[in-house]
Structure 1
Amino acid sequence: MYTHLEDYIRELLSTIKVHSPPDLTIENVASKLKLEVVYRRKSYRFGNEIILQPGTEQQEWQLFGHELCHYLRHAGTQLLMHPLFIDLQEYQANYFAYHFCVPTFMLEQFKEVNHYEIMENFNVEEGFALRRLEMYERKMLLAWSRC
């Protein structure tokens, strides 16, 4: 059983015909969502632009997932928001990035899931892969305990 966010991401990726890890690239996703990706000193979202801070491919992919959440699920400008609401949006964007960059429905296709497989197949950094694996394992344990 998927969470609301996992369903949302599965539906989004299905709609734009992204079905496997090799399809998960900034260029592919951005073009299918009609987004422009620009590189600057600081990452943020502005209209249909995702502005990314240059880094490694893995860092840029993870930042893209974070900023994509702001584009898809948040409205307004953080410049005018209460700091606690900004914190909430940042938490949501970070959580979204883990699930977008390494979708659960794709993880389920692997016979054996470990952080090396996640790093290699989803092009994310080791710390990101370890955290995502922890989330996935916790979900599997919870599902197993409910049986």
Structure 2
Amino acid sequence: MKYYPTDVEKWISAKYKSLSIQQPTDIDLDLIAKHFNIFLTHKPTRSIAFLNTRLKSINLDPNFSEEEQREIFFHELCHILRHVGYQSKTITKMMKELQEWDANRFMSYAAIPFHLLKGYDLKHPNVHREIARDFGVSPKLARLRVNRIIEQASEQSRIRGVL
């Protein structure tokens, strides 16, 4: 299976490599937040990203599981790095939906970066369980990420065969 990562995946991998993230256990939320000058808090209130001209912050509700907190962190990180506008006030419903789609896609890339999947047999029927354990994410997210890679590799192969 030959897979060509997206530009966003390549960007995430380059950032992680610059932070010496070479294996799943190296993915440290505090390190990543610090790298992007994001103030990371853990308070039992709404999990949310906040951005203004002086402050970037993400709050994670400690009442959520570790898996949920990681997934929320990467979702909110996307909003800080890639989006503009305060969702509830300044953008249209369609733009909000697009940002949420983008944040969910980014979250799967950042939580399970492609460059760290090289040692896994992505065609094994239970690989998502191993990935979920190693990357500290839900089996649902791991399964979704693996399925997308396999589907995109198949589509990329089909397109390259036509060209």
Fold shared, TM-score > 0.5 on shorter chain: yes
Q: Which has the higher contact order (CA 8 A, sep 6+)?
A: 2
Larger Rg: 2
Deviation at 1:61, TM superposition (A): 0.4
Indicate the percent of aligned positions where both proteins have the same amino acid.
Answer: 27
2:49 corresponds, among 23, 45, 49, to: 45
Tell me how many residue pairs correspond in the alignment: 146
The runs of 5 or more residues in structure 2 that have no matched partner are none
User: Is contact 1:119-1:125 (8 Å) kept?
Assistant: yes
Q: How does 1:27-66 map to 2 (within 5 A)?
A: 27-40=30-43, 41-47=45-51, 48-54=56-62, 55-66=64-75
* TM-score using structure 1 length: 0.89
Deviations, residues 104-144 of structure 1 (Å, cap 9, x unaligned):
1111x214231012111111011111111111211232344
- Residue number in structure 2 paired with 1:81: 91
SS in 1 for 2:105: helix
Deviating more after overlay: 87-96 vs 2-11: 2-11
Deviations, residues 61-88 of structure 1 (Å, cap 9, x unaligned):
0000100001111122112211111111
Question: In structure 2, what is the Cα distance between the partners aligned to 1:134 and 1:5?
Answer: 18
Q: How does 1:67-146 map to 2 (within 5 A)?
A: 67-78=76-87, 79-107=89-117, 109-113=118-122, 114-145=127-158, 146=160
- Residue number in structure 2 paired with 1:23: 26
Higher-helix-fraction structure: 1
2:66 maps to a residue whose letter is E
* TM-score using structure 2 length: 0.81
The runs of 5 or more residues in structure 1 that have no matched partner are none
